[in-house]
A and B are shown apart, each in its own frame.
Chain A
Amino acid sequence: MSTSAPTQADHAGPVIAFDGVRIGFAEGEILQGVRFSVQDRETLVLLGETGTGKTLTLKLAAGLLQPSAGAVRVLERDLSTMTENELLAFRRRIGFVFQEGALFDSMTVADNVAYRLYEDKVPEEEIEGRVREALHFVELERTFDMLPSELSGGMRRRVSIARALVNQPPIVLYDSPTAGLDPITAQTIISLILRLRDVYGVTAMLATHRLQDGFALANYRFDPASKHVVRAKGNGAGSADEPVTRFLVYREGLVYFEGSPEEIAHSQDPYLKRFLV
């Protein structure tokens, strides 16, 4: 696998942009005109209570859902103008890590990770090598022939990450990757996300209930030289070699807060302070 990190110059505008996006169901409107953007190599942490539209936002960014109003632009393409066939091809540039992993339970781990490679008609002789490399990245090479039912929750999430990164997409979307996991396993998942961000330079959106996940992404980085997670110098503010981490808080269908880790950590807003508990 190559380890090239796309630079800011590769994308002149935002990589992901939501402009006045609305979506709702029979129960009511969930997103009521949200507006934000994600720049190249940036990680946007989506925070909010249950039911505020975090998962919906990720699915809109992946084109799995269409907004009832507004526009979603990803890699300079307006997803709402694309047909389903065009979206199917476009989604190959987006990695999606679902909350419970969403592994195909009738396939082995290897087949799950190789799924996208089979769909892209990659030569058979190349597939096994790339699958092993992806599983090595998430430190699960030993699960090659196992079924998802034989894995723990944390292992399933890691395999899901391996499946998302196997074709090196420029964008990765994480839906509550640490939900329901114990603190140690959650740290393992965050470390993997850090590695993916810092080794491959992906642009990411991460939906989570846990503020500490966002702070971990802001305050730490993966050092390729020492192959360890180390304290970042800029605390998520971004620099030539450290990507930016920003927070977006939803409340009642709208963006309640958008800003840096420093701003949210020092905020006196009573609602935001509840996330800091």
Chain B
Amino acid sequence: MADTPLQVTGSPAKAEEPRLATMEVVTGVFKGWVAGVQEYSLLSFRALKNIPSRPFYFKDLIEQMDDIGVGSLPIVLLSGFFIGAVMVLQTGAQFTRFGQTALTGDVVSLALVRELGPALSGLLVAGRCASGIASELGSMLVTEQVDAMRAMGTDPSRKLVTPRVLATLSMTPLLCALMDFIGLIGGCVAAFFSLRLNVVEFWTRAIKILEFPDIMQGMLKPLVFGFILSTVGCYKGLTVRGGTQGVGRATTQAVVVASVLIIISDTFLTKLCLYLADKVF
């Protein structure tokens, strides 16, 4: 207690409060993150579990395959062509120093099939489709259409999530393969006009350098990336909070999270595939 009105008494208890509040915030954030991972895992598991059982929404699957696969073709093909061309220009410029421009086709083919095709097609489709999925499902959630679906006896996981996941799983490897092919065409065009390489020689070397482990790596990665982008898009859409502003946030977060996860998983998948190529194949 103060002796005079102007004295300020010490209050040791108050000095501890900021540390507790920080701990609560950190704990709260950590708990939220763990809960988010749990919900995402359950959503992904249910999406796959629904595949072999009825009812199966085949019409919705076809519509999603059209939207995700056919709809992404222009951006994937256009980007693939110019990425192949850029790769040839960049690598050709280095090989010219050593007089080994003939190796350009080999290197570009390996880079495209093993890495650039899967990663870039995954990122492009994530940007286009993960955002579309998140915004569509988020809009349905905030306008109570998801509740209406449940009220009429439809499982939203079966009707909304599973067709999108399955469509993405089936379309992303095909898109990647097309991107690889168009990328080689773009590279071939650049090689012919810029490096004056023989077209037949370029193609022959590009195809011959590829082995089964390269194809395996190039097809396994799009499967994983497709699963990531579709499940992240569905999760972000179905967990929207805050009305239309929340839908906008979810759309952005879906692209960011899907893209980051694709890049991170690419590292581990590359390591795994190189190990399998070495030990198994």
Contacts and interface: CB of A to CB of B under 8 A. Distances in A.
B155 A102 contact: no
A91 B153 contact: yes
A62 B151 CA distance: 7
Given A84-B155, A88-B155, A102 B145 contact: yes
A99 B144 contact: yes
Contacts of A91: 150-153
B148 A102 contact: yes
A64 B151 contact: yes
Interface in B30-68: 55
B143 A88 contact: no
A36 interface: no
Interface string B102-138: 0000000000000000000000000000000000000
A105 B139 CA distance: 10
Contacts of A244: none
B112 to A, nearest CB: 37
Contacts of A104: 140, 145, 148-149
Contacts of A99: 144
A92 B153 contact: yes
B151 A105 contact: no
A164 to B, nearest CB: 9
A89 interface: yes
A96 B148 contact: yes
Contact of B151 (A84, A85, A89, A96): A96
A251 interface: no
A100 B153 contact: no
B94 interface: no
Interface in B143-171: 143-145, 147-155
A116 B153 CA distance: 8
A64 B152 contact: no
| Residue picked from A62, A88, A115, A116, most chain B C-beta under 10 Å | A88
| Residue picked from B143, B145, B147, B148, most chain A C-beta under 10 Å | B148
| Residue picked from A59, A99, A100, A102, most chain B C-beta under 10 Å | A102
Nearest to B59: A118
A59 B144 CA distance: 12
B153 A98 contact: no
Interface of B: 55, 140, 143-145, 147-155
20 contacts: A64-B147, A64-B151, A88-B150, A88-B154, A88-B155, A90-B153, A91-B150, A91-B151, A96-B151, A96-B152, A100-B144, A102-B143, A102-B145, A102-B147, A102-B148, A103-B145, A103-B148, A104-B149, A115-B152, A119-B154
Interface of A: 59, 62, 64, 84-85, 88-92, 94, 96, 98-100, 102-105, 115-116, 119, 163
